Amino acid sequence: MPSIVKEIINDISLPKFTKYPTNNVHDVTSNTMKKEVNDSNERIKEIENSIKREAAQYIEML
């Protein structure tokens, strides 16, 4: 696979959630939202990796 194609595939990224603001928010709510944001961002990272893997496989088949 050409290096430029590898670079393009490696640069694929999806937007992620930013940290939940904790000021003036109840601790339980803040902790829950922090966990939800972290879990969601981990799932987004898994999807990114899957897209990259599938793109590389597709390019190899061409």
Q: What is the CA radius of gyration of the chain?
A: 17
Rounded Cα distance between 52 and 6, Å, is: 9
Of 19, 61, 58, the C-alpha closest to 38 is 19
Cα distances (angstroms) measured from residue 11 to each of 15, 26, 36, 46: 12, 38, 25, 15
Rounded Cα distance between 48 and 35, Å, is: 20
Q: What is the pLDDT of residues 22-60, one digit of tens each?
A: 888 899 999 999 999 999 999 999 999 999 999 999 999
The mean pLDDT of 8-19, rounded to a whole number, is: 96
Q: For the chain, what is the domain count? A: 1
pTM of the model: 0.84
Rounded Cα distance between 25 and 12, Å, is: 34
